[in-house]
Amino acid sequence: MMTMGKTIRVALAAGAASATLCGAVWAQDADTLIDQTLVGDHRAAANKARDKYRHPKETLLFFGLRPDMLVAEISPGRGWYTEILAPVLHDRGQYYAAVSAITEKTPEALRKNDADYRGMLAAAPDLYGNVKLSLISSASRQVAPPGSADLVLTFRNVHNWAKAGTAEAMFKAFHDALKSGGTLGVVEHRARPDASFQQQIDTGYMTEAYVVETAQKAGFRLVNKSEINANPKDTKDYPGGVWTLPPTLQHGDQDRDKYLAIGESDRMTLKFEKP
């Protein structure tokens, strides 16, 4: 009997059988592979339910994903995008997941998150057996071998680095990992343009100006932006910041229906290039 992972990989390979090295064909190939992966049984139902907010196909194609790329995703969490990226890149590309190094000072919640993520990878070697883990720590922020990556991706992480005071160091690490001409794709909760830095830290919403300036300091240039992940229903004025909205729903049942009706946060989607 064919395993879940083999079934998905056979479907992906069949969809890619006629691909050539022509850029246009690779782009068409990525479109097909992403479609097949999104409906795969390997994806958790709760993760599929987030597609309507996160627009993974449109987002990845906007960033230029191709199945022959070396792609590094930064802080993949519990693997929402890993479920999509790893199968698409499995046969002809390479997927690096840059995770935080676990130390004796790591909070228990983050330890569990790391264990759950590693458990997900180990449970489906046909899908995730080629995933490479790189460790981010205060001593090393190498997310992929220097100058090797075609694409570096980060989803909803910049506010954490800004709060920790490591944002500039992280963006420099992305620049170091990318090839010349490589792409950095950033999706982040979007603050009002006049939000102070402290307000950004407190609420988890960052201004586009902050993200662009931080990337430019690291040597990137902004080449495009998209409203794929915009949400005009998001008023950005909640007592618990962005964590008030789904999927966190920090206040539990209090005004739950109201926040579910709003959906996930309003987000910037920015495409940078390493010259």
pLDDT reported for residue 192: 98
Give the model confidence (pLDDT) of 234-248 as tens digits.
Answer: 999 999 999 999 999
Q: How many CB atoms lie within 10 A of CB 138?
A: 10
Can you give the pLDDT at residue 110?
87
Mean pLDDT of the chain: 92
What residues does 225 pair with on adjacent strands?
270
87-105 pLDDT, tens digit per residue, is 999 999 999 999 998 888 8
Q: What is the tens place of the pLDDT at every residue in 59-94?
A: 999 999 999 999 999 999 999 999 999 999 999 999
User: What is the per-residue pLDDT for 8?
Assistant: 61
Q: What is the pTM of this model?
A: 0.91
Catalogue all structural domains in the chain, each as residue range(s) with its CATH number. Answer: 4-273 (3.40.50.150)
- The pLDDT score that the predictor gives to residue 23 is 53
With CA atoms as reference, report the closest residue to 68 among 185, 1, 149, 177: 149
Q: Are 8 and 93 in contact (CB under 8 A)?
A: no
Taking only the tens place, the pLDDT of each residue in 177-225 is 999 999 999 999 999 999 999 999 999 999 999 999 999 999 999 999 9
> Cβ neighbours of residue 64 under 8 Å, at least 6 residues apart?
27, 151, 183, 271
153 burial type by CB count under 10 A (0-12 exposed, 13-18 middle, 19+ buried): buried
